[in-house]
Amino acid sequence: MKKQEAEALAIDKSRVMIEYLEQILSDDNISGNMIFSSNKIDGEKEKMCTVDIMLNNGKARHLKLGIPSIHSDVFTKQFTSDLVDRFAKDDTMGVSQFFEIKSMPPTSRRGMDAISINEETGKINNHIKIDFYSIGQDFYSIMKEYNEKLKEAQKEIEEAKIRK
């Protein structure tokens, strides 16, 4: 698959992942993990990008993204951009900045959190840990860009509050 094909596919696959997140965060008292990784898939010549979604209610989804691992940065860039666009300015759902915790598995993390707030209580209602196990050579620059875009969106929110 050429990079241009991966870019076109990443738009659709990212949209689907954002929809899954919206559904999960709209539910009640759900926590879980969304893990992006790379796996050898039967019938494929190379490793492919995959995502495992595992929730505390016992539901799990194992999805093939159809993007070769060599183009994982293409998907990561699209997905993180869509995360900011969808959740940065939402009143009840949001995403954290990218962070990395280097430790012994399973406590190591490389990703961000997505949460929803209960409007009545103001407490966290749902919490999804988003982690990236398959990273390309541009991963950290993509995450830096993600954090900067998220900070800019937060700055715009603060400025709008001041103007009110």
Round to whole Å and give the CA distance between 89 and 157. 7
Instruction: Give per-residue pLDDT as tens, 109-154.
Output: 999 999 999 888 889 999 999 999 978 899 999 999 999 999 999 9
Res 107: pLDDT: 77
Using CB atoms within 10 A of its CB, is residue 123 exposed (0-12), middle (13-18) or buried (19+)?
Answer: exposed
Give the residue extent of every domain in the chain: 3-163
Res 103: pLDDT: 86
Round to whole Å and give the CA distance between 114 and 95. 4
What are the residues facing 49 on neighbouring strands?
A: 38
